[in-house]
Amino acid sequence: MSVVDEKWEPTVLAFCCHWCTYSGADLAGLNRMNYPANIRVLRVPCSGRVNPQYVLTAFNKGCDGVLVCGCHPGDCHYVSGNYYAKRRMMAFKRLLEYTGLEPERFQVRWISGSEAGKFRDTVVDFCEKVRALGPYTGGAVSLSEGLGAGAELGVGAELGVGAELPQGGDAQ
Amino acid sequence: MSRIGVFICHCGSNIAGTVDVARVVEAARSFPNVVVADDNKYTCSDPGQQSIKEAIVEYNLDRIVIASCSPRMHELTFRKMLKDTSINPYMLEIANIREQCSWVHKDIEAGTVKAIDLVKMATAKVDKDTPLFTTTIPINKRALVIGGGIAGMQAALDIADAGYPVTIVEAEPSLGGKMVMLDKTFPTMDCSACICTPKMADVGSHPNITVKTLSEVEQVSGYVGNFEVTIREKAKYVDYATCTGCGLCETKCPTKVASEFDQGLGQRKAIYKPFAQAVPSKPTIDAAHCRKLTSDKCGVCEKLCPTKAINFADEDKLTTETYGAIVVAIGYKLIDWGALYGEYGGGRYSDVISGLQFERLVNASGPTEGHITRPSDGTEPKTVAIIKCVGSRDPEKGRSYCSRACCMYGAKHAHQYLDKVPDGRCYVFYMDVRTPGKGYDEFYMNTQHDGAVYLRGRVSKIFEQGGKLICKGEDTLIGKQVEVAADMVVLETAMVPADAADRLGSMLGVTRDKDLWLSEAHPKLRPVETNSGGIYLAGTCQGPKDIPDSVAQASAAAMKVAILFSKDELESNAMIAGSDASLCNGCGACVNICPYSAITLEEVTRRENSRMVTRQVSRVNPGLCQGCGACTVACKPGAMDLKGFSDEQIMKEVEALCQW
Amino acid sequence: MKYAYFPGCSANSTGISFTLSADYVGGRIGLELEEIPDWCCCGTSAALVTSADLSLALPARSLALAEQHLPGLDVATPCAGCFASLKGAQHYVRRGTEQRAHVEQLIEMPYAATAEVYSFLEVMAQPEVSEQIASQLTTGLNGLKVASYYGCALVRPADVTQFEDPENPQSMDRLMELAGAEAISWAYKTECCGASHQISEPKGARLLVERIFADAAANGAEAIACACPLCLLNLDLREAEINATRQARGEQPFDIPIYYFTELLGAAMGGSAKQLGIDRHFWPAEALVQRAVSPSPAEPVLDDAGLKPDSADAPAAAPTAAPMAAPMATPEQPAEPAAEAPAAAPAEAAATPATAVAKEVADE
């Protein structure tokens, strides 16, 4: 791992669906649970709204970890959005890992509106893992540059030839 | 250039305790296009809202960011506030610096840095907000009630009494559900049929209610105010228009079948009315057992019928109608204890019966005319063991939840038995006795005074020995194993969701909880609504309940329907998807992915590259679109976007977090 | 039909009759058993109370050895206790990679838990094996009323042993019916025999056995069949003592011999009491089975079913001098002996090393 500024704090972005995970996060607040302040929640109506492109952009612009969270499979407020999310994100995650991203930096989790504890545990665990990996310095970065709006996985796959990309933040 | 106002809330010390509000205000002033940033002790209060309104005028703001509690809490409050100003209510973003910041972090420095980031993201997003407008949807003021048990009947009667037409769909040949099978109801011990059958008659004769028995909901499409519902009315082989319900056919039918209504303890004919007070009071032919329909012999009912109402060529009828609201009241079924409890004989012993079978045994119009006798030999049981929580509160074998009504009806069964067999002995095995409710605990106490022996412990095994059913169990209060040699055992079995719950749940977009009951929108504050607009729950389909609770919930659901129907039209969601026809290539990916069938392809002729071109493009129906955004990600050319959560807005938020 | 064989400690001691009879039946139906090299004690309940790790390591070690030396073979064991221990280790390892790593570290051997573990009862209850058994029957049991006693170790815990119906098992009943017996319906099929409590807590434990006899008797059983050496020992060894107590209380004593289900199958195939080890029981068991396999119930040979042996010398009376009438001795079955004799010979020849040892023990 490269020399890290002692004051370095990881920037962690979480896309949370309005109906389940966002309300679970609110419940964690209501219960005064404690978790690392590194997490920034970005509210989306549904995990199915999360375009893989946003994730690429987040890593590209300097996030150290990205979480995508939604309702449990079968519980989607919009019937099936989280299934779309699951399929997209799992394929996308493999692509990211292929380009050298450490698997721990990008996670997909299903957290319901009543699972405040699970939200807290997920954030604690995720932030810890990202912190251990250190700042994100490469990987998928250049991938997103060429992507137009609304790029689906087909487009991402073309860019999967990023074998020459740097080996993520794994600079031990 | 937009003109943004940022307002940071202290929420007393809720936010200010962990976030340095002054620093956040200071930081916000430096963000692009922010014209003014200010703080307020309680932004949601009247003075707080007033100061924002004044700032909008003073600084000529065209959009605002409020950093306060969760948008789930006050987004609507502030949108309402903006209606009184020059700003469109959707030109607003909330930064959640309470639930997701001040309340979950202890360190002021970290909390403040995070709050600044959250405000930054909201500011970046609001910069790209556009005015949004709602449309109105007409409301079809007709209600559909699925299920004709006590909950469904109550809901139907209330809606009908409010003046709206109701169709009630019941899968069985008669209304009444489980309640009409019961003998008496706790704690008042009034006869169940005496209070249930008048309701059935009311439903049957109400001018605003249409009853469809032996019917199922086949298909549902549409949305609140405008559901298109296809109902399958199964063949009854009897023309109800001409049948007078004289019952002559039933007397001469040669085929006998175990009666579902009597829980297999009695028999019915192949042409039958399930019970005397059935509504509609007309028979149906059971096609699976009728000799004419299975082997083309007999047909005696047809020959006898004085009104020629028998029609062996009858077929299922499908009808499609439009409803504005749907009440789901499909009830419960009892757990299949035989498959789960091999230690209780798994159904091998005919004198081990369920509570519902006991209800039929003790009922004066039941198969034994109310004499409590053993199904095996017809003798009167002198010792009865009642076992509660069979399948309830038992995650290893059954369900983890409490079925709520069994403690009371268990006490009722003990009371009824001791009442009818004065020299009988009754043992009740229990885990806990839960009797909250008006007059409930008093009833339980009285049952103990009647002589019921309550043993706190589970029964581990039931087996036959010398004509007796030996119940081996434990009395945990004295710490000893006990054996009861009973003549009959009554199992108070768990309530589980009805079979139809699965299919209906997915058809209506109503989710199911971990135990597969249909889920209400909020366990405390929205107990009869679902997450699908215009669909409401009544009775035990939402979870185990007794009759008073089912009736109360049914009336609540009816009230929700009446509120919906009190308006002529409904405001649609403004934050919906929209397609840019100039970018759309008509591939149809969005059509396939939309869970609400809200997107259609339509042909348009438009000028492109100075030529008129006719091609397919997608169009979003604003009444159907719920704003999930699944289509936006599926759209390869990037034509589809979601209002209020646009690609550009989300990207700007991400950029703001990382780069500003 | 070949299995890796885990004999367990009782195979050549208290459960010798199980070994003899299973070998006999196995030989007749072409069942091949290859003993797991260097197998060790399954740990039984003693290991469980000593340490959880030990109770995993001991059975896992033997299973790992089977996997290593006898790849591709499923494991079969006669003893219900061994079955439960082996299944327990297998079930634990199959729960996940962590559990597997834990066990492999304990036994310092790879163990993938690929092989299934079967009790002899399960082996014989398989449809194709049952067919084989049916084809070998000569005399049958002529309606002998048998209570099939499964005990606890085969059926519990149900998710570990995964034995057909844990509350009302049927496999032994079906085998008994197959052999021409009448499988009676009774309630104590899976009740506890007291296990080792018969030694440490004799007073309470005797009651358990007495209840088993009482329910079998109440339901008309003439014999009890079982599939566990400890069950058999506890019932067989204690019957005389229980009868003495009953007589002292003025109650009717029992006369119900206990058999391994394999003994009854073997007898129905024409095996002699000596071949099957029926002559080694504490409670006299030869007469009843002899009567059962006799073609005509009208000519009872040594009918002491009605006689209640004196409780004091009942155990001593067990080895009856008269050998069981071989089927070939009965004139009613002229065709059988010819087919029977050569079939019996290979059965002897195919005797496993376990049987060889058993013979030595027997000869002592």
Q: How far is C166 from chain B (nearest CA, A)?
A: 8
B418-472 tens-digit pLDDT: 999 999 999 999 999 999 999 999 999 999 999 999 999 999 999 999 899 999 9
- Non-local (6+) Cβ contacts of B324 within 8 A are B139, B140, B141, B142, B143, B224, B225, B226, B227, B534, B564, B565
Asked if C187 and B342 come within 8 Å (Cβ–Cβ), the reply is no
B556-578 tens-digit pLDDT: 999 999 999 999 998 888 999 99
Q: What is the DSSP string of B301-331?
A: HHHH-TT--B-TT---EEEEEEESEEEE---
Domain with CATH 3.40.50.11810 in chain C: 135-329
Which residues of B fall within a CB distance of 8 Å from A41? 96, 100
| Average pLDDT for B347-358 | 96
Could you please state the CATH topology (level 3) that the domain comprising B4-126 is classified under: Rossmann fold (3.40.50)
- Overall CATH class of domain B577-643: alpha beta
A135-172 tens-digit pLDDT: 998 754 455 444 443 344 433 333 333 333 333 333 33
Contact C73, C34 (CB under 8 A): yes
Q: How many helices (H) and strands (E) does chain C have?
A: 17, 8
For chain B, the domains span 4-126, 136-234+316-331+498-571, 235-314, 335-496, 577-643
Asked if C166 and B348 come within 8 Å (Cβ–Cβ), the reply is no
Measured between CB atoms, does C362 come within 8 Å of chain B?
Answer: no
Q: What are phi and psi of B465, to 5 degrees?
A: -150, 120
Listed in sequence order, the DSSP H helices in chain C are 16-29, 44-50, 52-69, 80-94, 97-107, 120-125, 127-136, 158-161, 171-178, 197-200, 202-218, 229-248, 261-268, 273-276, 286-293, 335-349, 353-363
Assign A77 a pLDDT band (cuts: 50, 70, 90).
Answer: confident
* Optimal mutation site among B514, B658, B659, B660, interface A, most CBs of chain A within 10 A: B658
**What per-residue confidence (pLDDT) applies to B222?**
84
**What per-residue confidence (pLDDT) applies to A78?**
85
Per the structure block, which two tokens stand in for C272?
């002699």
Residue of B491, B469, B464, B447 lying closest to B358 (CA atoms): B491
Residue of C138, C363, C142, C173 lying closest to C271 (CA atoms): C138
| Rg, Å, chain A Cα set | 16
Task: Name all domains of chain A by residue range, CATH numbers in brackets.
Answer: 12-164 (3.40.50)
Kindly tell me if the per-residue pLDDT of B594 is higher than 50: yes
Assign B509 a pLDDT band (cuts: 50, 70, 90).
Answer: confident
Q: What is the DSSP string of B164-216?
A: --EEEE-SSSSS-TTGGG-SEETTTTEEHHHHHHHHHHHHHH-TTEEEE-SEE
Which residues of A fall within a CB distance of 8 Å from B638? 148-150
Asked if C187 and B470 come within 8 Å (Cβ–Cβ), the reply is yes
In this structure, which CATH number among 1.20.1050.140, 2.60.120.200, 2.40.40.20, 1.20.1730.10 belongs to the domain C2-121?
1.20.1050.140
Q: How far is B221 from chain A (nearest CA, A)?
A: 13
Assign A4 a pLDDT band (cuts: 50, 70, 90).
Answer: low
Which residues of A fall within a CB distance of 8 Å from B658? 11, 58, 61-63
Which residues of B fall within a CB distance of 8 Å from C166? 342
Count of CB pairs separated by less than 8 Å, B with C: 17
DSSP state of B529: B
For residues A68 and A80, what is the distance between their CA atoms, to the nearest angstrom?
16
For residues B473 and B340, what is the distance between their CA atoms, to the nearest angstrom?
18
**What per-residue confidence (pLDDT) applies to C331?**
41
Q: Are B4-126 and B577-643 the same fold in CATH?
A: no
Measured between CB atoms, does B466 come within 8 Å of chain C?
Answer: yes
Q: How far is B469 from chain C (nearest CA, A)?
A: 11
> Which architecture characterizes domain B335-496 according to CATH?
3-Layer(bba) Sandwich (3.50)
| Average pLDDT for B629-639 | 94
CATH 1.10.3720.10 fits B136-234+316-331+498-571, yes or no: no
Measured between CB atoms, does C204 come within 8 Å of chain B?
Answer: no
For residues A61 and A63, what is the distance between their CA atoms, to the nearest angstrom?
6
Check: pTM over 0.80? Answer yes or no: no
Return the minimum-mean-pLDDT range out of B280-294, B514-528, C110-124: B514-528
A8-40 tens-digit pLDDT: 899 999 999 999 999 999 999 999 999 999 999
Q: What is the CATH number of domain C135-329?
A: 3.40.50.11810
- Neighbours of C, requiring at least 3 CB pairs below 8 Å, are B
Measured between CB atoms, does B634 come within 8 Å of chain A?
Answer: yes
Assign B660 a pLDDT band (cuts: 50, 70, 90).
Answer: low
Contact C146, C264 (CB under 8 A): yes
**What per-residue confidence (pLDDT) applies to C313?**
44
Chains C and A in direct contact, meaning 3 or more beta-carbon pairs closer than 8 angstroms: no
Which residues of B fall within a CB distance of 8 Å from C218? 465-466
Mean pLDDT (10-residue bins), chain C, 364 residues: 95 95 96 96 92 96 97 96 96 96 96 96 96 94 96 94 92 96 95 93 94 95 97 96 95 96 96 95 95 69 44 42 41 42 43 42 42
- My answer on whether omega of the bond before B187 falls inside 30° of 0, hence cis, is yes
Domain with CATH 1.20.1050.140 in chain C: 2-121
Measured between CB atoms, does B573 come within 8 Å of chain A?
Answer: no
